Chain A
């Protein structure tokens, strides 16, 4: 911590810095401000973003690292006098001041149009205690009329007097001098006024960026804000590069009456130096720190006069009885007592009760919920039915969830059926009130492609060039994009790398790295507080109706001590809920997810065969490629499977050793014999975060708290830095415990790999439950499974068309859209249920048409085409869409005939004078061919229930020796093959070193391809764009997993034409 500033009467503290949280109006992160302050030897620095405290926590952390005292503040726009807003900077002296500032920002944000905050003087008046106020004086007018100047001075005097009345001795004028011609005159006028009114003034530089070089980023952001190119921005840009965080020496040079050049740096007794020293005095008065906040949760309303702890205990005991029944033993009691004790000592009973209440609400409403993440390590959560995994049975580590050594609240993530999540969110808002509840925000930072597009646009490059430039960079961060452009990307687009504009492009893209671009709502993070939340952290309206968000994202909550409730939407839960209901309706079978037959061999056979399209978490191409190798045969195998195909294990080189050991191709060994109990279940290969913790405890003598720190370093976003710190302790511990250096190095490397999304075992176990449940449903209740899947879209990995083809391969009868039988959603018909596609899959039916159809269907099924026209009231366009989709097949056979008839009916009676058609007309319309029908299906619904597009090409394919997916599966290693199909997956994962993976689908199944970077270069256009591909290459077959190493690619023409869509880079 930095030394107190008392007695430090020399130097300068910047009191009005802005960070990138003044969105698009500042160019440096809070961390960069803190680092710059440290570099220039500033003892403290204030952050004053515009109506925003979003950077406050990051700023505090960064200042602590840099040993610079953080001063928390904000800049506000206040109508001190009616209709004449002025900008003031408020700095927090103490906790009371902070609460006032947060409340003022909340008020300004919530009471005005989104993005245009402002405050009235009467709102500020009761909230001035604990705040220092600086009046910004850089606003001026170029009008020099004496009458106007006199008026202006009178106005300024009134503003000064009013603010002094409100803030008393905490009011100062903030003067800025950026070396502009008008600055000297303006400052002189203000100083004169300050003397006249006896108000102290301070110099500020009000930096918009930390370092001089960041000015270009600020200029770019200015142009983005004004939607303008640099060439046209003119005076919208600042006139020089003086708006950076300046050192005391630079400020003395600027303000000291005796230092007109840069040689002199010591402050003297002149007016300017006195004012500079005043900034240090102000900094000294600002003692507030974010760690003082300590927000409290709202007390849960406990019935019967009991305490929260007592009520929680009662609930847990009741739940334990239900969960464990006869199995309840001493181990269970001991663990539950242990957990309840910690919860009581940490005063977290209310937190668990609130979560229990949310789960109870959802369950009563029939909404599927399931806790995931580290909460599954807790027996208390299991007994409260927040989670579904028995942590005692699975020997999960409770300390991963909660420990007394860790000075932070636990994290409970609750998955909620995504269709019903809003109901749960609104319940929380209503129960605790909007004053005490809000969602966490997510700061969306510039990614590479967006940065390239924005900068290129601002620099005046044509749109086509901007698009091509953005295609040259991967979907990484802006810094990666800048590197990529510098390494030849810009030249490939035809730009001269030495041209100033090209160099500027690369520099500016680099500069946008990690800068926030906008703020959105976190996927599910909620926070609650006992005191009004807006006094703890500013709240603002979200872009979605009925939602409010705080200005901090999830990583900012720990430091001030907020407890987050993650209420996440999960499509799979929606799907499972629907499937269970369908099974009940069609077969009268009551399924309970918690009571499915465990370890069903048929389910595992299906999984081992990688027949997992639609199955939760293991349906991706990478998972499918691994399943035949892992051969899962029990629940814990699924836990491993879920965790195995993740960037952590892949980058840590843990996947292949595990697979080899699994198949018995290499012996199960341990880096140290002491690790056997820790790693036994994963065959000596560490896969889970908990194992990482246990390794540290076992081999390095870490306490559980230290191990948890290690785990946090592994999981935290910016963990590489954090890992270095704990790495030293780990290395020391390992050495002390006699671990050989080479072994210690391997252990460290494996643990470091977890930094990229290492999975907790408990999380994997929670997911594995859903894996098994969805696989079970697919295995035994395929029609219901696919029906639920189709009615829960969009979700999962595959398009509805692929799901339909997969369903057909599983002997599910698929019935087409038919207005005589279809409802809006897909439905099931008959005792061996057939799946009827719902009207929701007809493309182009808008909300109005949906409403009309649903209303008409609610009154009963349609019995004729005329009935449809009459009761739905649909227009010609919608009727044509439905007819094209074949929806009238029963009511009027023949799509074209139906449309012909509908057009007449929709037009109504032609009137008495209309010519009468001949009695027999001119014969039938031309019938659709099979190909035309399929093309119409894809065009109007995106899927075809009758056939696969490749069936029409099969004869030609066979004649040319092109194999089907099924035939490919029979091929041996080294065979040269060609396979054609629809592209259902095109991926280039970050961990694959530029390798692209393509999956084709034909009428017989899937075929997998691997395209190396050099081949991609030569076949780029074909590979990246075509929906239908013919790929040739060499077969690599291993343990039933077949991949083709692509050597050539060509387009396949389809008569389904443009209706076909590939599914790319998801």
Chain B
């Protein structure tokens, strides 16, 4: 839609100029800063190209909540405020008793997942617990693909 080259290509070019053309001209004590700048550009590059991954996780979260049946343990939400303040906030009201048929947004669903994990809401259902864990893995791997793919590879994840 926008002008060409698009943001990811533009950022890739900027990083290339920085690392290959400018960095060698810098005094040694400023090269670390230039490398940090290059790292910032690389992250921005990957994030600019990453809407797809976020969509996938959102769809999975929606699926996770649409298909669920409330389990008794999910009403244990009261313990959350007893233990640690208010809990991750955003979608007020629902402490796990209702489904996401109201069409919660991606951030709202993520808050809900965080809140429910805090109180162990899935611990009575091995099946839901396993699915929640799979979402955590996907979320983390998607996040690191953007933030630090080298760390991911160093830990044996493609």
Note whether A and B form a binding pair: no
